[in-house]
């Protein structure tokens, strides 16, 4: 499948998607969002892929929603807009998605990174929610996921006063998993994705879902869901294989069954 605004590659069991609107600093217009979500869904449905990486360029991850596309929109047009439904499709992806971020991740770009399961940043990465400068607020998770990630105090500064975070600050405040050099951040993200993609696929899927439950469910509901998922994995061939391999002191061979 060919796309207009993204580039898609496979690296063995890892699907890589590059945001590719350099003339607009990878601003997320509806074409890009639809293409991105379609590519993620295609990888999610492909048994040959175990994890995905979303990246921009070394200079820019994404400068947010396309301001030129939405500047004259009416309330009704915004209510009818397919921006959020497209954005929300990322929540339904079962396999892990890692954002490899360099340069600015602003507004919807920061929210896109936050919607991924992990973030690997280059030392040049910068994160911010500058919507306040445009007379609006974040609308795709920037007040919710960001606050869960960095806490209320810092989220308030970011949302109300355009406080931006350097890569080092983002690491310090728990927004990103790791910071790497500009030369190695993408390779590091691909390596992390490849390691996860080599693990038991159903356990990875259930693990991702169980961790994400903390954002959706109460603690007792989340614990109950975790327990059910744990028991369910005893119906898989991979649980038998993993435990047998441990006892027999050999490497497990996962079947994804
Ligand atoms: N949209 C459209 N075009 C953009 C853009 C954006 N977000 N950001 C940059 N560009 C364009 C610039 O207009 C310029 O185009 P030309 O003038 O050359 O035609 C080109 O990219 C290069 O930009 P600059 O000349 O500004 O480049 P600099 O290196 O000087 O500055 C910058 C880079 C990233 C610091 C700067 O461009 C900037 O501040 N950009 C805007 C960042 C921003 O405000 N982002 C937040 C956007 S609002 C929704 C939910 C959520 C959202 C929307 C809807 N619903 C519930 C429906 C999300 C909203 C947002 O993300």
Examine the pLDDT at 1 and tell me if it is beyond 80.
no
**Contact 49/94 with Cβ under 8 angstroms?**
no
Q: Which position among 50, 64, 108, 109 bears the catalytic label?
A: 108
Question: CA-CA distance, 198 to 195, in Å (whole number)?
Answer: 5
Q: Is 169 a catalytic residue?
A: no
For 19-51, write each residue's pLDDT tens digit. Answer: 999 999 999 998 999 999 999 999 999 999 999
Count how many Cα atoms sit within 13 Å of the Cα of residue 29 in the half-sphere of its side chain.
16
Specify the pLDDT at position 150: 97
Q: List the structure tokens of 183.
A: 């030369």
Catalytic site residue 209? no
What does the pLDDT read at residue 228?
97
Q: Write out pLDDT tens, residues 137-156.
A: 999 999 999 999 999 999 99
pLDDT at residue 82, rounded to an integer:
79
Q: Is any atom of ligand 1 closer than 6 Å to the C-beta of 137?
A: no
Q: How far is the CA of 65 from the centre of ligand 1 (A)?
A: 7
Q: Is 24 a catalytic residue?
A: no
Task: With beta carbons less than 8 A apart as the criterion, state whether 118 and 99 touch.
Answer: yes
Q: CB of 108 closer than 6 A to ligand 1?
A: yes
Greatest alpha-carbon pair distance for the chain in Å reads: 66
**From residue 243, how far is each of 202, 230, 237 by CA, in Å?**
15, 14, 10
Please compute, for residue 30, the number of CA atoms within 13 A of its CA located in the half-sphere on the CB side.
Answer: 9
| d(C-alpha 52, C-alpha 41), whole Å | 10
Residue 106: CB within 6 Å of ligand 1? yes
Residues in the chain: 257
3-state secondary structure of 150: helix
List the Cα angle 22/106/95 in 5-degree steps: 85
């Amino acid at each position: 499948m060919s796309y207009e605004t993204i580039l898609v590659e496979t690296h063995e069991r890892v699907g890589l998607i590059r945001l590719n609107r350099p003339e607009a600093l990878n601003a997320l217009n509806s074409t890009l969002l639809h293409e991105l979500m379609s590519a993620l869904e295609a990888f999610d449905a492909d048994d040959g892929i175990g994890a995905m990486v979303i990246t921009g360029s070394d200079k820019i991850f994404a400068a947010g929603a396309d301001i030129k596309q939405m500047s004259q929109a009416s309330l009704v047009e915004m209510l009818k807009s397919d921006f959020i439904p497209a954005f929300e499709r990322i929540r339904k992806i079962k396999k892990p998605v890692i954002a490899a971020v360099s340069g600015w991740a602003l507004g919807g770009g920061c929210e896109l990174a936050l919607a991924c399961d992990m973030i690997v940043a280059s030392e040049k990465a910068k994160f911010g929610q500058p919507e306040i400068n445009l007379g609006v607020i974040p609308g795709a998770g920037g007040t919710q996921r960001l606050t869960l990630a960095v806490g209320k105090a810092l989220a308030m500064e970011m949302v109300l006063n355009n406080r931006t975070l350097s890569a080092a600050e983002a690491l310090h405040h728990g927004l990103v998993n790791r910071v790497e050099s500009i030369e190695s951040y993408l390779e590091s993200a691909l390596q992390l994705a490849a390691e996860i993609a080599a693990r038991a696929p159903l356990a990875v899927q259930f693990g991702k879902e169980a961790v994400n439950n903390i954002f959706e469910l109460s603690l007792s509901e989340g614990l109950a869901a975790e327990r059910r998922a744990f028991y369910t994995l005893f119906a898989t061939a991979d649980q038998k294989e993993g435990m047998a391999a441990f006892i027999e002191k050999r490497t497990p061979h996962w079947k994804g069954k």
